[in-house]
Chains A and B, each alone.
Chain A
Amino acid sequence: MLVQRNDVGRVLFTYATLTFFALIFMIPLVYALYTSFLQLKDVDSIVPFRELTVDSYVRLWTSPAYSLPRWYWNTAVMTGIIIGGNLIFNTMAGYALSKLDFYGKRVIFFIILATLMIPYHIVLIPVYTTMATLGWLDTMRALTIPYMSQVLHIFLVRQFFLGVPNELLEASRLDGLSKIGAFFRIMLPLSGPALATMIILIFTGTWNSFMIPSTMVTRKEMFVLVVGLNSVKDQYFDRTNLIMAGVILTTLPVILLFLFLQKWYVQGVSTSGLKG
């Protein structure tokens, strides 16, 4: 009896704490949401419910200067291609760097760490020039091909793969699997959470990316969401309510993806898989 009451108390306490912090963590999003329903004159003040307006959203959807459906589509295509490339190439590289032993492995790992340390700004101009020479500017190729295998996520996948017990791989060899076979049959099925994590991180990073799309694309039809919404700016001042409506429109898909991936995220490693 006593134990049980304690348990109930503990669960309640956990929920209370989690909810309390959750509320704090929601502040930026709630603020953005609230501000996006304001007129510019009411920004930074509390107004009664009936004075809220959807004007900002209407303006973003209907103004001829913006083509939101097109920009959503471009962003989705860009994000999809980059996630696809990274899923394939990074898991391959991560497997090689964590579970195989070959000459040159240390150098490649060093390359990955070093690349991570270099701010991308420094290669932007030469990359731009190359894109122009290839005639790839204003195309999806310029936004995706160089980013199909990103060092941050190779590093991430490698670290996760290091945690997979070597015994599993040795057992698979006794079953007659080759090194390539072990990758497909052992590593990939075991790395649900790692891959879900990578998808979430790449999705967030690519979906919100600004520097590269704003450099490589100048045609409005090829804009991605963040670049397009950024052109909302007035020359001399910001329209905070429009900016926040843009933030909400950009953030919602990411939050939906998060909720959607949760299932996969926890499924990942079941003990039965490890007992093998």
Chain B
Amino acid sequence: MTDRPVPVKHNRYSAWSDSDTFVGWLFVAPFLMIWGFWFFRPFMLSLSRSFQDVNFMDLNAARFIWFGNYLDILRDPEFHEAVLHSLTIVVFAVPTQSLLALLVAIALNRKLPGRGVFRTIYSVPYIVSPIAVATVFMVLFRRNQVIVRLLSTIIQTPNVTWFADVNLALPFVILMFIWQQTGFFMIIYIAGLQGIPDDLYEAATVDGANPFQKFRYITVPSLKPVTYFVVTVGTILAFQIFDQIAAISRYGNLGSPAGATTTVITYFYQHGIRYMNIGRGSAAVVIFVLIIMAITALQKRLMAVKE
């Protein structure tokens, strides 16, 4: 910034515009107002439903039943299975997609002619609607197709339609999910890489650092806030995975085959929306949120991120 800004005149407002508390609250006020009216209030309404036995036909005839809905859910073996599937998705998808996204972003951050086109292409899986992606994957992973045959020779998976097989349906969903999410996080990593000042690398080159050292001591620490975002949001999105599952069971049961792809969110969807059991659905969401909170708090400690 070669042109220095003209110093602000000191008038009686400058004390306010210089106070962290005033400016802070002023700047979050629009968000808080929108959030309070359009999210918090409706959410509290739904939350109160989780303690009620309530029929969608007559919302005012609800009966207060304390923790009845919660106990029902916690005792339901189908819920346990759903939690297990959700955790599986998180454990496999989050590290894979984060690492892949970072690698692709680094590759595309070089000063190559035409990288804009490549970046766009690599984002395509994220842009295209999950329905289209699912349709293609369902064709590609059909019995007797090339990919299925290849995989059956390489990693000994049976030659069957993946999304109809009770053991392969969940890996199939995870694969589609990673495919789509990697593009999303790549976009974020590229922007993060853009934010690292070039002079840091230049200084390191002068000091004789090799590329790996630069990556380890400049790129990784500089990307820490972005990585925190990628992992946290990645976990939340993996927990909320729905479109891909709905797509493979478009004509059948949500979570088919035989419940192999049920997750906490499909459980909520079935009870809260499909069976119109609003109370039970709301209780499922509360349990769901508590689980994600515990996991993200754990991740935070593991990553030792100071926010």
Contacts and interface: CB of A to CB of B under 8 A. Distances in A.
Whether A and B touch directly in their complex, counting CB atoms under 8 A apart, is answered as: yes
Interface of A: 11, 14-15, 17-18, 21-22, 25-29, 31-32, 44, 88-90, 92-93, 95-97, 100-105, 108-109, 111, 113-119, 121-123, 125-127, 130, 145-146, 148-149, 151-152, 154-156, 159-160, 162-164, 172, 175-181, 183, 185, 193-194, 196-197, 200-201, 204, 208, 226, 238, 240, 243-244, 247, 250-251, 254-255, 258-259, 262-263, 265-266, 268-269, 271, 273-276
Given A31-B136, A259-B120, A269-B194, A185 B5 contact: yes
Contacts of A160: 191-192, 195, 225-226
Given A177-B8, A193-B195, A268-B194, 10 more contacts: A14-B110, A18-B107, A117-B236, A160-B225, A178-B18, A179-B19, A197-B190, A238-B250, A255-B127, A262-B120
List the 8 closest pairs (A to B, CB-CB), nearest first: A176-B7, A102-B24, A126-B42, A262-B116, A146-B38, A96-B27, A123-B42, A92-B27
Contact of A93 (B31, B129, B197): B31
Contacts of B110: 14
B181 interface: no
Contacts of B42: 123, 126-127, 130
Contacts of B195: 160, 163-164, 193-194, 268-269
Interface string B166-200: 00000000000000000110011011101111110
A44 B138 CA distance: 11
Contacts of A193: 190-191, 194-195
Nearest to B242: A119
B302 interface: no
Given A21-B122, A25-B122, A146-B38, A117 B292 contact: yes
A93 B27 contact: yes
10 contacts: A14-B110, A26-B121, A148-B30, A160-B191, A162-B225, A163-B192, A226-B129, A251-B132, A255-B124, A268-B191
Contacts of A254: 127
B206 interface: no
Interface string B1-40: 1001101100000100111110111111011101101110
A176 B8 contact: yes
B58 to A, nearest CB: 14
Nearest to B25: A102
A245 B31 CA distance: 38
A27 B133 CA distance: 9
B28 A119 contact: no
A118 B28 contact: no
Contact of B46 (A125, A145, A200): A125
A104 B26 CA distance: 12
Contacts of B24: 96, 100-102, 104-105
Contact of B122 (A22, A95, A176, A178): A22
B66 to A, nearest CB: 20
Contacts of B95: none
Interface in B268-300: 268-269, 272-273, 278, 281-282, 285, 288-289, 292-293, 296
Contacts of A194: 191, 195
Contact of B43 (A26, A93, A113, A122): A122
A123 B48 CA distance: 12
A204 to B, nearest CB: 6
B70 interface: no
B268 A119 contact: yes
Contact of B118 (A18, A88, A127): A18
A127 B32 CA distance: 17
A258 B37 CA distance: 33
Interface in B110-162: 110, 112, 116-129, 131-133, 135-136, 139-140
B226 A163 contact: yes
Given A121-B272, A194-B195, A276-B1, A159 B129 contact: no
A154 B135 CA distance: 33
A19 B265 CA distance: 37
Nearest to A273: B1
Contacts of A268: 191, 194-195
Contacts of A266: 116, 194
Contacts of A115: 35, 39
Nearest to B183: A25
A197 B191 contact: yes
A118 B132 CA distance: 26
A215 to B, nearest CB: 11
Contacts of B194: 193, 265-266, 268-269
Contacts of A123: 39, 42-43, 45-46
Of listed B28, B140, B232, B278, residue having the most chain A CB within 10 A: B28
A265 to B, nearest CB: 7
A269 B199 CA distance: 12
